[in-house]
C-alpha cells in the first residue's frame, strides 16, 4: 500500500508542476456523456500477411498466413477525460509454423522455424486519458508506447501481436522545444501473448535543438517479478543526439551519436555491467539517403550482455530477428543503410556486418568474432489513403560457427496488405 501511495504522490507532484488555470479548449469538449460517446472517433485496421521462413537445421519451411483485425472507439473528451478502447484478433489461416505461444514452442511444430504470430483475441489498448492540462496528457490502463528509435521502449508493431504496457503515463510539452515523458508500468504483454509482471519506470526527456535535431536523456528501470526473470532486472541510463542539417535545397547531412550504461537493478545479477553506443553519419539528396552506422551492445567477462527486452528489436541487427536477445559475447554491428522513393514507392535496404564484442569459442576449437552478415530489402507502397502494401526480404548468412547457440542461415520473405480507417 505504501509503495502504491508513493507512486501516486510522485505523479501528483509532477502534475502540480504543470497546473495552469486554463483547461483544454471548450470547443474540443463534449457537453454531455452522450455526446462524448456518439461523437467519438473510430479506429479500424486490418493487416493480412504471408510470411515464409527457411532456416538451416529445420526440416520444414515455415509459412504463415495471418489476419490481424482491430476495431476501436475513442470518445470525445468530457471534462478533459476520454476513453480509448481497441479490440483486436489475430487469426491464423494455416498452422505450418511454430508460433511460440506464450514463449513456448509447440511440440508438434518444432520442425518448423519460429514465426512469432500466435492466435490471440484481446484488448489491444484500453485506457482512460486526461487532457485537462495544457500541452499534457495522462493515460491510465493498457497502452502502446514508443520512444526515439524504438531501441528501448517499443510496441513491436511489425509483428501481428503488438507489445503493450499496463500502467500510468504522463506526456508534457509545456516547456519550449521540450517533451517530458514519465511512466510507471506494472505489466507488459509481449508479442508471444505472454503477460509479464514487472515494475517498470520510464523517464524520457527530449529537447529539440533545431527542428531537425534533438537531444534525448533517458532512464529505464526494469524490475521483473518472478524467479525466472528477476536476475535479469536492470537499469539503463543514456543520452542520444540525432538529426540532420540542410546544406542547400537538395543536400543534407545525417548524424547520430548515442551512449548508454546498463547495470543491475533490484534483484538483478550483480554481474550486469555493460555499455551501449551507436554512431552514424550519412547524406541525403532529395528523397534518397545513404548512411553508415555502428552499434555495440557489450558483453562482459561474466557472460552478461547489454539487453533491450522492451524494445522493438526487429529493427536492429537485421530484420531476420536472429539477435532479438544479445548473445553473452555481445554484438558489434556495422550497418550500411540506403533508401529513397521510386514512382511513389518507398525503398529501404540494409547490409549488416555482425560481429561479437568478445571472442567466442568456435565449433572444432579456436576462437572467432564474426556472427555473420545480413541483407535486408523492403518496398512499401500506398495505393490509396486507406490501403497500403509492402514486400520485404531478409537473408542472414552465418560466418564463424560457434559452439553455444549457433545462429544458422535463415531467409525470410513477407508480403503484407493493410487497410486502415
The CATH number of residue 41's host domain is 2.40.160.10
What is the Cα–Cα distance from 140 to 168, expressed in whole angstroms?
Answer: 5
The total domain count for the chain is 1
Q: Are strands 387-398 and 234-246 parallel, antiparallel or unpaired?
A: unpaired
pLDDT of residue 22: 39
Mean pLDDT for each 10-residue chunk of the chain (421 residues)? Answer: 42 41 59 92 97 94 97 95 97 93 84 94 97 93 96 96 97 96 97 95 98 98 89 96 96 98 93 96 97 96 93 97 94 97 96 93 81 97 96 95 82 97 89
CA distances from 135 to 8, 31, 132, 158, 285 (A): 21, 21, 9, 30, 35
- DSSP SS3 for 375: strand
pLDDT of residue 380: 98
Helix ranges (DSSP H) in 250-386: none
pLDDT of residue 33: 92
Domain that holds residue 85: 2-420
pLDDT of residue 27: 63
What is the Cα–Cα distance from 238 to 260, expressed in whole angstroms?
Answer: 4
pTM (predicted TM-score):
0.89
Q: Are strands 387-398 and 62-74 parallel, antiparallel or unpaired?
A: unpaired
Closest Cα partner for 54 from 118, 121, 111, 137? 111
Amino acid at each position: 500500500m505504501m509503495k502504491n501511495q508513493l507512486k501516486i504522490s510522485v505523479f501528483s507532484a509532477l502534475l502540480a508542476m504543470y497546473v495552469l488555470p486554463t483547461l483544454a479548449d471548450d470547443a474540443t469538449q463534449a457537453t454531455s456523456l452522450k455526446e462524448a460517446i456518439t461523437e467519438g472517433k473510430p479506429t479500424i485496421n486490418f493487416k493480412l500477411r504471408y510470411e515464409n521462413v527457411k532456416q538451416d537445421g529445420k526440416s520444414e519451411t515455415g509459412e504463415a498466413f495471418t489476419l490481424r483485425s482491430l476495431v476501436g472507439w475513442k470518445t470525445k473528451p468530457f471534462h478533459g477525460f476520454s476513453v480509448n478502447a481497441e479490440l483486436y484478433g489475430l487469426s491464423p489461416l494455416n498452422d505450418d509454423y511454430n508460433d511460440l505461444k506464450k514463449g513456448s514452442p509447440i511440440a508438434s511444430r518444432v520442425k518448423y522455424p519460429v514465426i512469432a504470430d500466435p492466435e490471440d483475441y484481446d484488448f489491444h489498448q484500453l485506457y482512460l486519458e486526461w487532457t485537462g492540462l495544457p500541452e499534457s496528457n495522462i493515460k491510465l490502463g493498457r497502452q502502446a508506447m514508443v520512444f526515439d528509435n524504438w531501441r528501448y521502449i517499443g510496441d513491436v508493431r511489425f509483428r501481428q501481436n503488438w507489445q503493450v504496457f499496463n500502467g500510468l503515463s504522463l506526456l508534457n510539452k509545456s516547456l519550449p522545444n521540450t517533451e517530458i515523458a514519465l511512466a510507471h508500468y506494472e505489466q507488459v504483454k509481449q508479442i508471444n501473448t505472454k503477460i509479464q509482471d514487472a515494475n517498470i519506470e520510464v523517464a524520457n526527456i527530449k529537447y529539440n535543438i533545431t527542428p531537425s535535431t534533438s537531444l534525448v536523456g533517458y532512464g529505464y528501470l526494469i524490475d521483473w517479478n518472478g524467479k525466472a526473470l528477476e536476475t535479469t532486472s536492470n537499469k539503463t541510463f543514456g543520452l542520444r543526439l540525432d538529426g540532420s542539417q540542410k546544406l542547400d535545397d537538395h543536400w543534407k547531412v545525417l548524424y547520430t551519436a548515442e551512449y548508454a550504461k546498463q547495470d543491475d537493478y533490484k534483484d538483478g545479477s550483480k554481474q550486469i555491467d555493460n555499455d551501449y553506443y551507436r554512431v552514424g553519419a550519412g547524406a541525403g539528396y532529395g528523397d534518397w539517403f545513404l548512411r553508415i552506422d555502428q552499434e555495440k551492445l557489450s558483453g562482459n567477462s561474466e557472460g552478461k550482455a547489454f539487453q533491450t527486452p522492451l524494445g522493438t528489436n526487429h529493427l536492429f541487427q537485421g530484420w531476420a530477428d536472429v539477435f532479438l536477445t544479445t548473445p553473452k559475447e555481445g554484438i558489434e554491428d556495422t550497418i550500411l543503410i540506403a533508401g529513397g522513393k521510386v514512382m511513389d514507392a518507398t525503398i529501404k535496404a540494409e547490409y549488416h556486418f555482425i560481429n561479437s564484442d568478445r571472442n567466442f569459442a568456435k565449433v572444432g576449437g579456436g576462437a572467432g568474432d564474426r556472427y555473420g552478415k545480413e541483407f535486408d530489402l523492403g518496398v512499401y507502397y500506398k495505393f490509396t489513403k486507406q490501403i497500403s502494401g509492402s514486400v520485404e526480404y531478409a537473408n542472414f548468412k552465418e560466418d564463424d560457427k560457434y559452439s553455444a547457440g549457433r545462429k544458422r542461415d535463415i531467409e525470410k520473405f513477407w508480403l503484407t496488405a493493410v487497410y486502415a480507417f
